[in-house]
Amino acid sequence: MKRSLRKLWRRLSRARTVVAMPHARRHALARPLMHEHPEIAAPLAIRPRPAAFENAAGLGVDLSLFIGPLATALQQLLDAIPAALGVFDRDGVYLAANTAYAAIHGLTPQALVGGNVSDYLPESEAQLSDDLARFDGGIDSIEREVQCHGRCYLVALQPVHDSRGSVQGVASVLVDITARKREEDALERARRHWQFHASHDHLTGLPNRRRIDEVLLAEVGRCARAGVPLSVLMIDVDYFKKYNDGVGHQQGDECLRRVALQLQSRMRRHGDLVGRYGGEEFIAILPGTDAEGAVLVAQGVLDDMRELAIEHPASPYCRVTLSIGVATLGEREGPSSRRCDVLLGHADRALYAAKAGGRNTLRTHPPLP
């Protein structure tokens, strides 16, 4: 093949004598050349426009001798570029493409040239119009990611100008970043996984103490600025150590999971949050809920546990019950830096009052009138 190309270019080096030859002599020389190298007459991936030959016609030059080999050489140059390259005009019609670019659409460069970008990328027509408007406005490059035939590509676009500086088309370079995107997606999933487990309890899936403290601190400030109440329920599973000792730790874990699901189902307003604060203790944060509203939520939790009816042989109620302390943050409950501690302290005292009152009940602090 290389020897054949060298022979071809030696023939073409005689072009200066061909220019001066009479018309019949030139065509006599051209015929054997085209016969020996049929690729000259083959469809080209670079299709010249007739206007390119207007001046040459007056010189008596038969440019058919040059079109094939020069286009072939240019195609080889395009194919040597280590990226997928395509060029299309303002109408989206492909003027040139290398093999890597055409292969994205399952075509050869010869088959792609003359087709329209919208034939292969259905949503590209409106995008091309927007890109041309930006190029006409002076933007010199555009980059974005696109999905094509199930793969992800980074597309770099640059305007193609004529001699007067007008944008006549667009050069598009595509780099396959599918593998990189998959790695990025895997890393993002891993990040979200570990972030979730850093802020959530592994047993119940509820927010853990660290997350509860973060949310409570944020809500204390937000509710104070908005002038709305903030209530907290501190919830404890009654006689849980006896339950664990009686039925085993696996059953104890299952009990905590069922309690967690029941508590979560009771958090029905936007911003409500329940988490596991440690052991058999849970905390619910109720932004925008006053003391009376918090008591209603707490009573609903107790009713839910009654319906859940988890058997507890060591409990005087013969089932798993909860004790709940309810506290609501007053408007002037100490300086803002201490509001969280004050609110939790009130809820804790209310919880102990509920336990002292026989469990399976709720208490508020300060007590409601």
* Residue ranges of E strands in 248-358: 273-278, 281-287, 322-329
Instruction: List Cβ neighbours of 23 (8 Å cut-off, separation of 6 or more).
Output: 60, 62
Pairing outcome for strands 362-365 and 322-329: parallel
Please give the Cα distance from 280 to 237 (Å, whole number): 6
Catalytic position from the list 280, 292, 307, 331:
280
Q: Which residues pair with 363 in a beta bridge?
A: 325
Contact in structure between 246 and 304 (CB atoms under 8 Å): no
Q: How far apart are the first and last CA of the chain?
A: 101
Q: What angle do CA 21, 22, 25 make, to 5 degrees?
A: 80
Handedness of CA 95, 99, 101, 103 (dihedral sign): positive
Please give the Cα distance from 94 to 113 (Å, whole number): 5
Q: Is 331 an active-site residue?
A: no
| Nearest one of 158, 155, 168 to 84, comparing CA atoms | 155
Please give the Cα distance from 114 to 198 (Å, whole number): 56
Q: Which residues pair with 171 in a beta bridge?
A: 87, 158
Query: Which residues are tagged catalytic?
Result: 280
